[in-house]
Chains A and B, each alone.
Chain A
Amino acid sequence: MAFLTSWWVYLTIGIIFLYVMVQSIVTLIKARKRAFELGFSKEQINQTITSSMVFSLAPSLAILIGLVALTKVFGSMIAGIRLATLGAVTYELPAAINVINGVFGRNIGDVLTPEMVITAVWVMTLGCIPPLIIIPFFFKKMSLGMKSLREKDQTWNQIMMDALFLGMISAFVGYILAPKTPEGEDPYISILGILVLVTSAALIMLLGFLMKKFKWEWLKNYALPVSMILAMALAIVYAGLGVR
């Protein structure tokens, strides 16, 4: 399995990382320019950049947990590039397990052969390819359709956008109530998860109150990441008190 740390694997993955980084930076520069044209101030744009980066810190660290698991199969560089592109750990891990366990009858952490690892990389790559084909060929048509719908009825457009987000939010709120099934234990609904959900909601409401009361406008951009990180920190406290 020496190939996982060979120079040519590092080079290939280095190029992909560079590509993704350049795409992100070019997109940011162009969007920033467009934002100025649309009348946004430098301060508003910089705050958006900073708050989006701060918000992304905690979820990015959580991705590294998935990185540790996938590194046991693919080495850290292949695992890293799989998690930095296209899917998410919720896709990559089941796809890897489908091959390693489902096809070859091994477990993650076992000694694997190059054939097992390479078959898994092929499956993971091709298993979530549709967006990269659909978007370049059909997204323009779709967005033009959305635009004409928008122009027809502005009020409905705003309601529909809110409804889209609420659909996603309601699915994830429900998901928190899904029973956990640890190996060798009975399924249980995580009280800790519910408590963290409620805590996070209460924290953002408190921050909203403080923003209004003391006119802390600057906090508006950071209310979500601050509530999220504090709720995660309190999860450690709750777990310490025996909540699960």
Chain B
Amino acid sequence: MQDWGYAKMKRTYQDQMHFEGRFWMIGALLLFMSLPLILSLGTGVWPTLQHFIPGFLATAIIFWPVTTIEVFTFSPMLGVGSTYLAFVTGNLTSLKVPAALNAQDALGVEKGTDEGDVISTIAVASSSIITTFIILVGALLIIPLTPFLESAALKPAFDNIIPALFGALGIVYISKRVKIAIIPLIVMMIFFPLVPGSGGLVGIMVPVGVVISIIVARILYKKGMIS
């Protein structure tokens, strides 16, 4: 009887996360859609198909597949609770995923467990609060802030946020699982310098890197070379 009660409690928590997450996400979808709609209703200006279709196709042809793949790539990393929030607040690779990873690592919780899921959710929610607040303040104070943000002295720092983030994050994870990391790292370190315009392909190359590393990990695991 007690076992049944515990199973029910667990199921209820997970179901609740999905139920509430769906509610929040559909609400967000409607609100995000309301912005262009209200702009058009308020001004009486609607996009003509002649202008909308080419602009939309040029964007969707790249970003529909990329954002679709992102769901399958990042949601297992984030867990149930944070997926519903992270995909509403965006900025996944530079903020939400590293925040979740850092928090799980700092507490030593296993990823993919209930504990990992809840710590990831706390990290993503905290990150979302501070980022939303900073962007709101930035939007309201854009005029006085622009000289600071565009200052030549600070440009090298802001231009190098990705190396600063992935240098620290990378060494921690690569050193933990060198055998898995080596092949995807070599592939990426050959691909990016050699392919012209590769800088714009990182969104596509993340799932490619994930597929390579999972294949490598599976082979090594089956051969008993990692545990």
Q: Do A and B come from one complex?
A: yes
Chain A residues at the B interface, C-beta cutoff of 8 Å: 3, 6, 8-9, 12-13, 15-17, 19-21, 23-25, 27-28, 30-32, 34-35, 38, 40, 44-45, 47-53, 55-65, 67-68, 71, 76-81, 83-88, 90-91, 94-95, 98-99, 102-104, 114-115, 118-136, 139-140, 142-143, 146, 150, 155-181, 187, 189, 192-194, 196-201, 203-205, 220-221, 223-224, 227-229, 231-233, 235-236, 238-239
Q: Is the CB of A224 within 8 A of B35?
A: no
The answer to whether B130 touches A201 (Cβ under 8 A) is no
Find out whether the CB atom of B36 lies under 8 angstroms from the CB atom of A162: no
A-B contact pairs, 19 of them (CB 8 A): A23-B85, A35-B119, A40-B118, A52-B127, A56-B127, A132-B26, A132-B29, A135-B21, A143-B75, A167-B206, A169-B166, A170-B181, A176-B166, A178-B192, A181-B199, A204-B171, A231-B160, A232-B158, A235-B159
Is A127 a contact of B63 with CB atoms below 8 Å? yes
Number of A-B contacts (CB under 8 A): 543
Give per-residue flags for B123-151: 1 if the beta carbon is below 8 A from chain A beta carbons, else 0.
11111111111111011101001100110
CB atoms of B205 and A118 under 8 A apart = no
Task: Kindly list chain B residues whose C-beta atoms are within 8 Å of the C-beta of A30.
Answer: 20, 81
The answer to whether B45 and A9 have CB atoms under 8 Å apart is no
Least Cβ–Cβ distance between A179 and chain B, in angstroms? 7
CA distance A26 to B210 in the complex (A): 32
Question: Given the interface contacts A60-B130, A224-B98, does A168 sit within 8 Å of B209 by beta carbon?
Answer: yes
- A157 and B35 within 8 A (CB): no
Beyond A48-B123, A52-B123, A84-B132: 17 further Cβ-contacts under 8 Å?
A9-B42, A12-B38, A17-B136, A51-B106, A63-B135, A67-B149, A68-B142, A68-B145, A76-B140, A85-B28, A85-B90, A131-B68, A160-B112, A176-B162, A187-B196, A197-B163, A200-B168
A231 touches B168 (CB 8 A): yes
**B18–A221 touching, CB < 8 Å:** no
Contact A170 B213 (CB under 8 A): yes
Interface SS of B by simple majority: helix
> A24 and B160 in contact (CB under 8 A), knowing A119-B52, A127-B64?
no
Interface residue from B59, B118, B127, B176 paired with A94 (Cβ < 8 Å): B59
Contact of B89 among A9, A85, A115, A134 (CB under 8 A): A85
With A51-B102, A135-B25, A176-B162 known as contacts, the answer to whether A68 contacts B146 (CB < 8 A) is yes
Taken together as a complex, chains A and B put the C-alpha atoms of A35 and B196 apart, in Å, by 47
A contact residues around B167 at 8 Å (CB): 196-201, 204, 227, 231
Measured CB to CB, the nearest residue on chain A to B111 is A161
* B3 to A: closest C-beta gap in Å: 16
User: Is the CB–CB distance between A163 and B157 below 8 Å?
Assistant: no
B75: which A residues are within 8 A, CB to CB?
135, 139, 142-143
Complex contact A102–B227 (CB within 8 A): no
Contact A88 B217 (CB under 8 A): no
Query: Within the complex, what minimum Cβ distance (angstroms) separates B69 from chain A?
Result: 9
Complex CA distance for A125 and B54, rounded to whole angstroms: 15
**Most chain B CB atoms below 10 A, which of A9, A63, A168:** A168
Question: Which of B22, B32, B199 is the one whose CB lies under 8 Å from A16?
Answer: B32
- CB of B186, distance to nearest CB on chain A (Å): 9
What 8 pairs across the A-B complex have the smallest Cβ distances?
A: A174-B188, A80-B139, A200-B167, A167-B210, A239-B156, A28-B125, A127-B59, A201-B171
Contacts of A167 in B (CB 8 A): 73, 184, 206-214
Q: Give the distance in Å from the alpha carbon of A115 to the alpha carbon of B107 in the complex.
A: 51
Give chain B residues whose Cβ lies under 8 Å from the Cβ of A103: 51, 54-55
Find out whether the CB atom of A127 lies under 8 angstroms from the CB atom of B56.
yes
Which of B13, B129, B157, B217 is close to A24, meaning CB atoms less than 8 Å apart?
Answer: B129
How many angstroms from the CA of A86 to the CA of B92 in the assembled complex?
9
Structural contact, A125 and B32, CB atoms closer than 8 A: yes
What 1/0 mask marks residues of chain B from 183 to 208 whose CB sits below 8 Å from any chain A CB?
01101110111001111101101111
Question: CA A162 – CA B155 in complex, angstroms?
Answer: 33
